[in-house]
Every structure is written in C-alpha cells, then in structure tokens.
Amino acid sequence: MKAVVARVTRAAVTVEDTVVGSIDEPGLLVLLGIHVDDDSAKAAVMARKLHELRILREERSCAETGAPLLVVSQFTLYGDTRKGRRPSWTAAARGEVAEPLVDAVVAELERRGATVSTGQFGAMMAVQSVNDGPFTVLVEV
C-alpha cells in the first residue's frame, strides 16, 4: 500500500462537475494506491501513519491538530513503466479487493477521530488542490 500525501490549504474532488469530497482548511490530500498483496492489517498501519504523519506546519500531525484529510483512491500509483511506453497495472489490486481496503483506511482514520472526506471509488475524478508549499511525500507500508 502506498500513498502520495500533499500538505494543502484546501482540496476538492469532482465527478461529472459535482463535488463529491473536499476539505476547505489546511490538511492533507492523500492519493491512496492498493497493491495486490495488501490486506486489512496494512490498511490499519497506513491509517495510523497518515493520521500521525508530522508534515503539517510546525511539524505537527492531523492527530495533533485535528486537520482534515481528503482520501482519493489512485490505482495508477502502481503503474509499472520499466518496460516500454505503456504502464502495466498488474501490481494494482482489482477494484473488488481495493475498494474495501480504501474503505478500511478511511474507517480507521475516522475511528481515530480524524475528519475524513473521500473521492468516489472507480469514478473518473478531477482532483483540485492548493498546496501549502511544495510539500509532498510518499508513504509506503
């Protein structure tokens, strides 16, 4: 499981011109990819890491500040471009495996007290964000 995490001042996800998820204050935009070998234990670890990741201002976390997270599923994080010019998606979990694990990460974040908004799994989403500085990290479990 991996996530690209950006510190943002606001972010939104739209599907067919309708906002399906957003945060309107400083927090984290999380693009979450699920690997074919991931399981619920990794989902719990990822949620903990995201909630406690100290990349907000003054090296603080969402757990410390109550900052919201916008979680968007992103199978393309597992695109393999080592051969040829067309990515291979064999490492990305299929939808029926990935969706429950994305939901598990979100549920665990909420169980920890986080404010979480999401995209729409499997939809063609437009993601807009206003980054808080050029601060983006890769988180893997």
- The catalytic residue positions are 74-76
Rounded-to-integer distance, Cα 31 and Cα 35, Å: 13
Rounded alpha-carbon distances, angstroms, from residue 19 to 92, 108, 119, 133 = 26, 23, 9, 24
Q: 62 near 51, Cβ under 8 Å? A: yes
Q: 106 near 116, Cβ under 8 Å? A: yes
Residue type, 36: V
Rounded-to-integer distance, Cα 13 and Cα 98, Å: 19
